[in-house]
Amino acid sequence: MKRRVAILISGRGSNMAALIKAAAAPDFPAEISLVISNKADAPGLERAKASGVPTLVIESKPFGKDRAGFEAALQAALDQHGIELICLGGFMRLFTAEFTQSWYGRMLNIHPSLLPSFPGLDPHGQALRAGVKLSGATVHFVIPATDAGPIVMQGAVPVSDHDTGDTLSERILEVEHRIYPEALRLLATGKVRIDGEVCKTEASGASENFLISPVVARASDLTDR
């Protein structure tokens, strides 16, 4: 039986759309049963409706600093729809430790950097300022600390000297759309387990390809041109 998944969004729902598309495959082990937004004007709501996924708005603004009150309303909706797993897709609301602990091992988030490097806001800018040659995206379990849970899957991309925050973001977004559904597949099929503070999987292993950046041309390559 397919696992019932809720996706929580606050904006356009780009990763949400990738998850919905993947889950439409007959052999995908999870179904997107509900999309919840804490903002009524989130563009992702219309994208979800267009895909036939039920949506719900639970405005966080009226709760102010009462995070526990908001989470009680959220939990009631999750219970009502029989949700087993949660995927955060650009959900701009921090959870209490109590909520994250109650969903420990069942709630995923994706962050556009190779964690533990560059957590928090502006990860693309952080990567460019640090001068790294590789960046990427990380799917991880949610814990009370921000962007710090056990890592389920990562994907890397090269960083060019000519990159801006926007161009790097676009390149990483392609990786996000690839790894998030695969990470959910691992979780939904029980191939992920948390061992202490790290995540271990029964996946087939890492890619055999190396990703090196920058690629330096050899003298022989130049003379051949």
190 is in an annotated binding site: no
3-state secondary structure of 157: strand
Amino acid 220 reads S
Name residues whose C-beta falls within 8 Å of residue 125's C-beta, 6 or more positions apart in sequence.
165
Other Cβ atoms less than 10 A from the Cβ of 100: the count is: 18
The b/e string for 20-46 (b: 16+ C-beta within 10 A; e otherwise) is bebbeeeebbbbbbbbbbbbeebebbe
Catalytic residue of the set 111, 124, 140, 177: 111
Question: Using omega within 30 degrees of 0 as the cis cutoff, is the peptide bond preceding 116 cis?
Answer: yes
Collect contacts of 63-69 with beta carbons under 8 A, ≥24 apart: 67/93, 67/94, 67/95, 67/96, 67/99, 68/96, 68/98
111 is catalytic: yes
207 is in an annotated binding site: no
Rounded Cα–Cα distance for residues 194 and 149 (Å): 10
End-to-end CA distance of the chain, in Å?
A: 57
13 is in an annotated binding site: yes
38 is in an annotated binding site: no
109 is in an annotated binding site: yes
* Known binding-site positions: 13-15, 67, 109
Which of the residues are catalytic?
Answer: 111
* Known binding-site positions for (6R)-10-formyltetrahydrofolate: 67, 109
